[in-house]
Amino acid sequence: MMADPHGESVRYRLLESTRVYAAEQLVAAGEREELASRHLRYFCDWFVELRREHEQLRPGIEAAFATELDDVRVALDGALIRRELAEGAELLAAIGAGCWLGGGLGLEGIARCEAFLAELPTSESRLRGKLGAPLTNILSRTGRVTQAREAGVVAIGCARANGHGPLLALALQEYAFVLLYSRDFPAAECALAEAEAIEGVPPLCRLVSLNCRATLSMETGELDSAAHTYERLREEWRSAGFGRYEAFVTVQLADIEFRRGQYHRAAELSWDAISLARNDDASAYLPYILVLLGEVLAVSGAIDAAGGPAIEVIGLWARGDPGHFHVTLAIELLAYIAAAEGDLDRSARLAGYAEASFARIGYLRGYAPLALYERLTTHLHQHLAPNELAHLTTQGASLSSEAAIALARTLETNAGTLAT
């Protein structure tokens, strides 16, 4: 038996040779399948309870997931193999989107949700709705807006068929966010209004609706109203001990200051959000915050400082999901920096890659990325002949994610690194 200290707690594990021997003995005794089923039920029951606590604004589910990831994977894999689909789907639904995203495992979360949805009978509307909502969330948060929109429609349909109010509210909220990212504001308002009218939802659901309402206000230009709501949310998340959600709201406030042209204040708030994200291990939000900081610095003229955040974002995502839209945003930011430094050839190729990458996943740039993109394209059109620009951007569009990252990283020496 080996002891592994984890902060104030200690976890125990078997030596690998002992673990293999024990597994062989279980098979020999004909007990392996029963024990595996009990293992699945244990984790299902535990995470369902953690989800209930999370919805009552008691943090802990993300930390438990990070600690138990290997066991969770074994439980989910076994559930599919043994056709214990209901228990596996319940566990996966209880885990939710935030755990996968927070651990930088968005692609795995998508794959697991899709695997269970492919196997569940169409009559299982409750479970399909419970899986459809987190799938919609993960797809949208990884920039796959077209797929997220499709998943959201299915999730809402399943929730309606089941007649479960809180489940429908969750599906509508996730879909409303997708519609916001799609710039379909009237449809987002309809989905959000329906979600807000549903009674009996847990406190977490209420705050998510409030966050969606603030985001809708921000995207439709009602900046004062959005700022007021975000400030209220920031206090609620802080008092509940959800540092990662406080980080997200803080960067939204930074986005508002960017839209107001208050670049210094936007940078200050971005640094505050980065500190919160690092302290609370909110890796799901850190790339978003870093990209915004880089965009703020670039647009405000601090070109020398803008590359560090972009390089860090690429480092965070390059191995697990090189095509992630945050990586592409970072690459586009580096394209802007290259243009500002006179490296038009590299800039145009990186810009061509970013445009093609966004088109593939249906991603629409938000306010800050769009401001940067418009400046970048204007600069390139002013300084490159049309035929040359078309040739270079076509070359960039054909690059793989890995090749684009390698090309972008050649700017790293000049960009420097971000202070922690």
Residue pLDDT, tens place only, 244-292: 889 999 999 999 999 999 999 999 999 999 998 887 656 678 889 999 9
Sorted by where each begins, the domain ranges of the chain are 13-116, 121-203, 285-420
Q: What is the pTM of this model?
A: 0.86
CB 225 within 8 A of CB 193: no
pLDDT given at position 316: 82
Residue 24 is predicted with a pLDDT of 58
What's the whole-number mean pLDDT along residues 110-125?
A: 95
Q: How much is the pLDDT for 23?
A: 60
Q: Are 198 and 169 in contact (CB under 8 A)?
A: yes
Q: Is the confidence at residue 60, as pLDDT, over 70?
A: yes
The predicted pLDDT at position 118 comes to: 96
**For residue 293, pLDDT beyond 60:** yes
Under 8 Å between Cβ of 152 and 176? no
Backbone φ and ψ of 10, nearest 5° = -130, 130
Is the predicted pLDDT of residue 201 greater than 80, yes or no? yes
**DSSP conformational letter for 146:** H
Q: By the 8 A CB rule, do 377 and 313 touch?
A: no
10 Å CB burial of residue 385 (0-12, 13-18, 19+) is exposed
**Does the domain at residues 121-203 carry the CATH identifier 1.25.40?**
yes
Lowest mean pLDDT among 5-9, 122-126, 226-230, 354-358: 5-9
Classify the phi-psi angles of 282: left when phi > 0, otherwise alpha if psi is within -120 to 50, otherwise beta: beta
Q: Are 393 and 349 in contact (CB under 8 A)?
A: yes
- 10 DSSP 8-state letter: E
Q: What is the pLDDT of residues 329-352, one digit of tens each?
A: 999 999 999 999 999 999 999 999
pLDDT at position 16: 59
User: Per-residue pLDDT for 10 more than 80?
Assistant: no
Residue with tokens 């490159």: 384
